[in-house]
Structure 1
Amino acid sequence: MRAMITIQHPGHVHFFRNPIAELEARGHDVYVFARESGVAVRLLEAYDIDHEVLAGESDSLVSLAAVQATYEWRLLRRAHRIDPDVITAIGGVAAAHVASMVRTKSLVFYDTEHATLITTLGYPFADVIATPACYRDDIGPKQVTYPGYHELAYLHPERFDPDSTVLDDVGISPEESFAVVRLSSWDASHDVGHGGFDDPREVVDRLEDAGVRVLLTAEGEPPAALESYQFETSPDRMHDLLAYADVVLSEGATTAAEAAVLGTPAIYVNPLSLGYTTELEEEYGLLFEYNGDGRHARGLERASSVVEEPADTWARRRERLLADRIDVTDYVVRRIETLARARTAGRSTPAADVSH
């Protein structure tokens, strides 16, 4: 089997890195193509994933259109040469477009309901759209669902064992309580007009008043007054840090969900709710989302109470989550192989769902 995987965000690297290794171990040929965004290429290099960068970063929605067009054109040329059985991606705009032009199969994974630009451009061209079961939208006959979250493709205990030496990297002692605060840049296409915390300085002050040390990570430049709270560690070690934190406060849903599936309570402050953030709160009590009026103040109140809870509270809740949810890497690999077999057999639709 020949599979093409497209990477356009750091989170895509995490999601696909284990499936890439599994597919290659099974003897398949995997071709990875990237568009630089954030630290995506640095992560590919850190994980020693063979790849080709087809386009650079964009600095506005206008330039994004030009970069995306360049990326798709170059991806199309590679697809003509490779003749893949499957092209897969998260979001999958380029993957779905190119697959339709070379008459191969496209497999799109997605979990973000409010990213309507991406879904409008990508979904009509995709052959199969795989979403978590908690995804709120009904996409129709192309949709297949699975009992898991994107984050369980790389943070399931079968795939990830946190390394405590990360604490030395950031100067934290094992006995010290600490919080990770994640600020978003709010420049993604689905973030326009939105925001999270009203005042990051107050977030830091409230946590310190509770006796919790603060480590700050920000997309782009942090507020000047908070530069001293930023920490330095390689991007592939961020999940180690989330696993050992006492609480995570995040404007981004992915970081909040990563913390939650690791058993670290997460405060998610963002005006947009998602199917998986709601489920992580309502079903497992590992994430607390605040998206309405007063979200800043209510989020800080919850953070203050969370750090008073005994650690085994979160461990028990994580155990229940893991009992209910699957190792998503296994699902991704089986779904890719199933779709490739459908293509090579000349079938026009994929085989039955392989969730279990």
Structure 2
Amino acid sequence: MTARSHPTSTGTKRVVVTIQHPGHVHFFRHPIAELRSRGHEVHVFARESDVAIDLLEAYDIDHEVLAGASDSLVSLAAVQATYEAKLLARARRIDPDVITAIGGVAAAHVAAALRTTSVVFYDTEHATLITKLAYPFADVICTPSCYRGEIGSKQVRYPGYHELAYLHPDRFEPDPTVLESVGLSPDDRFAVVRLSSWEASHDVGHGGFDDPREVVDRLEDAGVEVLLSAEGEPPAELAGYAFETAPERLHDLLAHADIVLSEGATTAAEAAVLGTPSVYVNPLSLGYTTELDAEYGLLFEYTGERRHVRGLERAVSVLEEPSETWTQRHQQLLSERIDVTDLVVEQLETHARTPEPDRSTATTNPTEP
């Protein structure tokens, strides 16, 4: 199935959007606004996760929080069960024509229970628990064209990345005033280092940099200032490098950085689609990180045993390249990849349930006796 293979359905639709991670807020922010501008009724439900609720409030998106945060894999199961039960109750009252999510475990289950349509977006091949729980129940599964899994007739492949739903230049313009908020001037060269917490279900048993202290030292030796972002608390000896800015302004910072080093694939990809070279250090490879490396040279993926050493070597060499290198590669990427917000809106309108005619209101033929 291709991304544009069906005619768009018409009429006002009731849409339920589910949010379980800060990245989901970014992804659905513009589709929610676009759907509402087209007259559709959009209901947003969320559970607490990192800064997800802060982002919903920052973007002034009406929403209801259905469950709290989890602090372990064990508690995540309980939180997910609560979230799914409450989502079912709310959706039953709304009677939505389509339910959508990233990953989509709760969305697919609730849609199946209510006999409505679910449209799921996903790009993480190794999150097998989520895919096993969601994919069998989902009606439509939209993935980037570089996604490595073959899902079958439900799958819609599109030439883009999740990050282009909110960082495509038609949707996002970096604000340079973010530099002042973190104590930098426009002439300062700087790197953003992003450390993961390694607490997600698909992160168990994995790790990225061997020694974050060495990462900071090597970057400073290369002549750049270092800003550190960490899921949870940063290492105590590096606390002075941590920066504070509103969560919705992180992308402004990534766009102005000279380089980004990240243990998380999303941050690395966000930098790349903004035209900032990124080094991704993580034992897990994904279709989109590999493509951003092989096709565009805007992300450098290191997943092997020497990933820490090789990643640092690459970071130093990147800082020696002229800025025109990354500008040209960025322009090529944008010429070959789509604004994913358009795709999201199209898929939801296309696959939303079309109510059957109400036979009880049918009139008889006036010519009949």
Counterpart check, 1:189 vs 2:204: no
1:132-181 Cα distance to aligned partner (Å, 9 max, x none)? 00000001111111000000000000000000000000011111100000
1:267 corresponds in structure 2 to 279
Hey, what's the Cα distance between the residues in 1 that align with 2:260 and 2:89? 43
Partner of 1:354: none
Alignment of structure 1 residues 71-150 onto 2, 5 Å: 71-150=83-162
Match of 2:355 among 325, 344, 351: 344
Partner AA of 1:262 in structure 2:
L
Unmatched 5+ stretches in structure 2 = 1-12, 358-369
Cα deviations by residue, 1:67-97 (Å, 9 ceiling, x for unpaired) = 0000000000001100000000000000000
Runs of at least 5 residues in structure 1 that lack an aligned partner in the other structure: 347-356
1:312 Cα deviation after fit:
1.0
C-alpha distance in 2 between matches for 1:333 and 1:241:
28
Structure 1 residue 303: deviation in Å?
0.2
Runs of 4+ in 1 over 6 A off after TM superposition: none
- 1:148-227 alignment runs, 5 A limit: 148-227=160-239
Q: How many residues end up aligned between the 2 structures? A: 345
Corresponding residue number in structure 1 for 2:365: none
**Identical columns (%):** 77
Please, which of 38, 43, 62 is the counterpart of residue 31 of structure 1? 43
**Secondary structure of the equivalent of 2:136?**
helix
d(CA) in 2 for partners of 1:112, 1:167: 32
- Kept in 2, the 8 Å contact 1:34–1:54? The answer is yes
Alpha-carbon distance in 2 for matches of 1:81, 1:337: 21
* Coordinate RMSD, CA, aligned: 0.8
CA contact (8 A) 1:104 1:343 kept: no
CA distance in 1, matches of 2:186, 2:40: 43
Partners of 1:86 and 1:345 in 2: CA distance: 15
Q: Is the 8 A contact 1:108 1:128 kept in 2?
A: yes
Correspondence for 1:65 among 49, 67, 77: 77
Aligned pairs for 1:233-248 (under 5 A) are 233-248=245-260
Secondary structure, counterpart of 1:344 in structure 2: coil
Provide the secondary structure at the position in 2 that maps to 1:32. strand
Measure, in 2, the Cα distance between the counterparts of 1:239 and 1:221: 20
SS for the counterpart of 2:194 is strand
Measure how far apart 1:343 and its partner are.
Answer: 3.6
| Alignment-mate amino acid for residue 245 of structure 2 | T
**Mapped partners of 2:94, 2:318: distance in 1:** 51
- 8 Å CA contact retained: 1:93, 1:118: yes
| Equivalent pair of 1:105/1:343 in contact (CA under 8 Å) | no
Which of residues 276, 279, 295 is equivalent to 2:288?
Answer: 276
Structure 2 CA distance for aligned equivalents of residues 215 and 54 of structure 1 = 34
Measure, in 2, the Cα distance between the counterparts of 1:6 and 1:318: 31
Distance 1:121 1:164 in 2: 42
Letter of the aligned partner of 2:105 in structure 1? Answer: V
Alpha-carbon shift at residue 344 of structure 1 (Å): 3.0
Shift of 1:345: 5.8
Query: Partner of 1:228 in structure 2?
Result: 240
* Cα distance in 1, alignment partners of residues 355 and 170 from structure 2: 31
Residues 246-266 of structure 1, C-alpha deviations (whole Å, 9 max, x = no match): 000000000000000000000
1:45 to 32, 47, 57: 57
Residues in 2 aligned to 1:305 and 1:98: alpha-carbon distance in whole angstroms: 49
Answer whether contact 1:250 1:266 (CA < 8 A) is retained: yes
Q: TM-score, normalised by structure 2?
A: 0.93
- SS of residue matched to 1:125: coil
Question: What CA deviation, in whole Å up to 9, does each residue of 1:301-347 have, x standing for no partner?
Answer: 0000001111111010000000000000000001000011x54369x
8 Å contact kept, 1:267–1:289: yes
Q: In the TM superposition, what is the alpha-carbon distance from 1:293 to its structure 2 partner?
A: 1.0
Task: Name the structure 1 match of 2:16.
Answer: 4
Cα separation, partners in 2 of 1:262 and 1:345, compared to 1, 3 Å? farther
Superposition TM-score, scaled by structure 1 size: 0.96
